[in-house]
Structure 1
Amino acid sequence: MGMLLLAVAVLAATNVLVNRLGPELYVPVCAAAAGALVGIARLAGLTWDELGLGGSSARRGLRWGLVLAGAVIVVYLLALALPYTREAFQDERAAELTAGQLVYRVLARVPFGTVLLEEIAFRGVLWGMMRRRWGAAWATGVSSALFGLWHIQPSRGLTRSNAAMEAVFGTGGTAVALSVTAAVVGTALAGVGFCELRRRSGSLIPPMALHCALNSAGYALAWAAGRWWGS
């Protein structure tokens, strides 16, 4: 139990750091935190297979990952092509990026920062430690709830930066509270899906691939939408 609480404490400290430090430190901090969490899990006795990082399931995980990533890109392109779903891609945070910043975000910050840390933390270390102690159902529920809470701080500006979120929730303090609540619930539910992928495949590769495709392709298409259809 002590190692599990230590892992949660490392995550809490990392959440504060990544939301307060400059963007140039985001990837190193995330990578260091991911390494520390893996070290904690190994000290607690978890095997590489229990972390979803074993070689025995890697081939199956790669197959699942390729299919999931391809499906995300197809769905995104269809949504971008339709006028009534295109508004969801109108996000100022992506539209304001330069081409160089976009490449860094898509190819470095998302895969080696966000996805690496969050998947190792929530579907690897926490899920593995809790599954060993309480079973898969509890591991999925608790790690997904923590995954939702992890997104409180980064979701505070959604109504200001995303046109679709502003259209749904409006502006002002109440709108921010509602949008943050929706983001926490939504990411917690997404966490359940990621955990199930982890459980069924036996590997972290499928949730990593899906997570990376959702975020990286989302940034790229939001950037494109801001230039092609932005006001």
Structure 2
Amino acid sequence: MIENRRLNPMKAIMIIYVICALFRIIEYMGLRTDQSFFGEAFVHKLAGIAVLFWAMRYFSLRPADIGFSGKSVLRNIFYGLMLGCFVFGMAYAVEYLLQFSKGNQPTLQLYVTSYAVGGNIGQQAGLMFFAFCIIGNIINVMMEEGVFRGLFIKLLETKYAFLKAVLLSSVLFGFWHVIAPVRNLLDGQISPMGAVMSILMLIVTTGITGAKFCLLTKITGSLWMPMADHFFNNTVINLLHVVTLSGVDEWQVLRISIAQTASFVIVLIMYWRSGAHHKQTFRV
């Protein structure tokens, strides 16, 4: 087991993180699959899953040891989807009412786009594109939750308390997302100041969201609920759009901020009321 190895958790994590980040850079800067027919950056996620399996084998970890427990799978997936549905339902309602009050005649439309910092890209209604979106987001949550909330928390807790492990994992998760504005800057699509603001926004918002996923992992003892919530968050942004007289998804950042703030507060209350802070993180 992992406890029997001479382990420097931060060193191990940084090696794994850098390997995964290199695959991410290659895809975003070179392959650019998110700007292609597929509309999803999935290659580096598949590579990340391969790295995750390698790390599990190296540290003699079973899937249940990092949160892929066989207990209460369907129940936790259902709760995760319901959490996402509730907070985004509220966020869409607020956005819709605000746009309606301004006379912008908002409507909700269902089609596939790729998420981008400055607004969603593309508009596809074919079943194949819906399938790409669903499959791509499943691959995404398996890799990110497995690595950041599963493996990293497991390694960090060999030396640090849970909340410190949450902080370290979430900071790395925040920096994981800066590649998009960096690419936009290099492509001349945004100014240096715009890139800096986007980077800071992404580090803070995705860092907080990552911390929420860590708390959900602690509450349930597995990755299934954070995976389901993560999947719903990403998928609804790709599929459900607010169209007005003046544009599409103009207040997307506001919508996401409302949903994630509400979600974080709900999960934080659940964390303290459930007594999860007294329990082992991964309960096999």
TM-score (norm. length: structure 1): 0.78
1:196, distance to aligned residue in structure 2 (A): 0.4
Instruction: Give runs of aligned pairs for residues 175-214 of structure 1, distance below 5 A.
Output: 175-214=194-233
Q: Deviations over 1:117-147 (max 9, x none)?
A: 2111111111221123323122111110000
Query: Which one has a larger percent helix, Structure 1 or Structure 2?
Result: 1
| Equivalence for 1:22 | 32
CA distance in 1 between counterparts of 2:59 and 2:227 reads 23
Instruction: Give runs of aligned pairs for residues 113-128 of structure 1, distance below 5 A.
Output: 114-128=140-154
Instruction: Give runs of aligned pairs for residues 122-137 of structure 1, distance below 5 A.
Output: 122-137=148-163
Return 5+ residue gaps in structure 2 as ranges: 1-7, 109-114, 249-284
Which amino acid is the alignment partner of residue 13 of structure 2? L
| Equivalence for 2:20 | 11
TM-score (norm. length: structure 2): 0.65
CA distance in 2 between counterparts of 1:123 and 1:71 reads 23
RMSD: 3.2
Q: With CA pairs under 8 Å and 6+ residues apart, which has the higher RCO, 1 or 2? A: 1
1:176, distance to aligned residue in structure 2 (A): 2.5
Return 5+ residue gaps in structure 1 as ranges: 160-170
Assess, with a 3 A threshold, how the Cα gap between structure 1 residues 22 and 152 changes in structure 2: closer, same or farther. Answer: closer
| 8 A contact 2:77–2:224 mirrored in 1 | yes
Instruction: Give runs of aligned pairs for residues 132-151 of structure 1, distance below 5 A.
Output: 132-151=158-177
Query: Which one has a larger percent strand, Structure 1 or Structure 2?
Result: 2
Aligned with residue 109 of structure 1, among 136, 144, 152: 136
Assess, with a 3 A threshold, how the Cα gap between structure 1 residues 125 and 48 changes in structure 2: closer, same or farther. Answer: same
1:69, distance to aligned residue in structure 2 (A): 3.1
Identity between Structure 1 and Structure 2 (%): 22
Assess, with a 3 A threshold, how the Cα gap between structure 1 residues 116 and 227 changes in structure 2: closer, same or farther. Answer: farther
